[in-house]
Amino acid sequence: MRILVTGGFGFIGSNLVRHLLGSDHSGSGLEIDFLVNLDKMTYAANPANLSDIADDPRHFAVEGDINDLPLVSGLLERHDIDAVFHLAAESHVDRSIDSPGDFVMTNVVGTQRLLDAASLHHQLRKTEGKSFRFIHVSTDEVYGALGPDDPAFTESSPYAPNSPYSASKAASDHFARAYHRTFGLPVVITNCSNVYGPRQFPEKLVPLMISKIRQGDTLPLYGDGLQIRDWLYVEDHCRALTRILLAGRPGEVYHIGGSAELTNLEVVRRLVDLVSDHLPDSGKRDPNPLIQFVADRPGHDRRYAINSCKIREELGWIPKETPESGFPKTVDWYFENEEWLEQVLSGAYKGERLGLRG
């Protein structure tokens, strides 16, 4: 199979590329012959995320924008792509509040142009008797907020986005669905819960807190810290996406969740304990004086939760990790890769570019 991944140098994207090229897929029916990794290389993309597979002849890295229709169309055609994993997106809610237009251009317009290129490519492949698949990766935030006793979001939950980020992702989901219904593009939409794990840019809660706890800094938490999220380890997310590629039904939506609801405050307290285990006795941290509650951000959703029964029952996927196993693995990775973290925090990682290779 020949794959195109958009946003493959970001957090989830790089873990997916690594999973596709490096995991043992024997018995699954999946064999990757070639993978095109298209990334705009914005601040959240890092060449170091895939430095250890840079010489893999199956990995073809291209610096470029999904809004560049001729570039995307050329990549699909020249490399005879069988499937697209679309992960390229602006994803940080705080940044979407500051610059909503950037999120519209990437998440909405960029997705529409990518769908245009994919639709034409699919029609050409049909004439040659070849199949095609487009996996659109989205978020649970498109559904808005849940009350404390509300059942978890299902694939039929109504959309009610509350931030510019979630609104832009909701729009991209609607375009993906419309291209399936109108043009017959074999699209599968996925909505995942809060993903964490290695190589996550330290603006998100888990890596940000790990970094600050190491340094003994205060730990800012929005509001009262009791916002609830469903936590999903990144490798479990990648396994789900691979399973959807192989067996997901075009036109369907699949929810990918960890079934692990925790408040942000609980997560931070766990991280303090785990990070402290890596520090000398003199450096042990007490979470109480470190945690600092700050003014809540506008439109902050109180609770998300994902019902992932559909993918479990239809495709046989279940998460392997829980917070009890996934958080320690994540903290261990950041301590074992301190150079990676220091380069990101200092901005030194921005010095390396890919260069366009079409």
Per-position pLDDT tens, the chain of length 358: 999 999 999 999 999 999 999 877 766 778 999 999 999 999 999 999 999 898 899 999 999 999 999 999 999 999 999 999 999 999 889 999 999 999 999 999 999 999 999 999 999 999 999 999 999 999 999 999 999 999 999 999 999 999 999 999 999 999 999 999 999 999 999 999 999 999 999 999 999 999 999 999 999 999 999 999 999 999 999 999 999 999 999 999 999 999 999 999 999 999 999 999 998 876 777 888 899 999 998 989 999 999 999 999 999 999 999 999 999 999 999 999 999 999 998 888 876 555 545 5
| Catalytic position from the list 68, 141, 230, 301 | 141
Beta strands 133-139 and 2-6 are unpaired
**Separation in Å, CA 128 to CA 36, 63, 114, 162:** 22, 29, 21, 44
DSSP label of 31: -
Domains and CATH numbers, the chain: 2-351 (3.40.50.720)
165 is catalytic: yes
- SS3 (DSSP) at 256: strand
43 is catalytic: no
β-strand partners of 228: 263, 303
| Catalytic position from the list 165, 196, 254, 334 | 165
* H helices, E strands: number in the chain: 13, 12
| Catalytic position from the list 63, 82, 90, 140 | 140
**Separation in Å, CA 67 to CA 35, 72, 88:** 20, 8, 11
β-strand partners of 196: 233
- SS3 (DSSP) at 165: helix
**Separation in Å, CA 141 to CA 36, 153, 154, 209:** 28, 10, 12, 22
Q: Under a CB-based contact definition with an 8 Å cutoff, are residues 207 and 335 in contact?
A: no
| pLDDT at residue 356, as a whole number | 47
Q: Cα separation of 306 and 327, whole Å? A: 19
Q: Cα separation of 235 and 247, whole Å? A: 18
| pLDDT at residue 151, as a whole number | 97
User: 137 φ, ψ to 5°?
Assistant: -100, 120
Q: Under a CB-based contact definition with an 8 Å cutoff, are residues 196 and 229 in contact?
A: no
Q: Under a CB-based contact definition with an 8 Å cutoff, are residues 218 and 292 in contact?
A: yes
Q: Strand runs (DSSP E) across the chain, as ranges?
A: 2-6, 34-39, 59-63, 83-86, 133-139, 187-192, 194-196, 219-222, 228-233, 253-256, 261-263, 291-294
140 is catalytic: yes
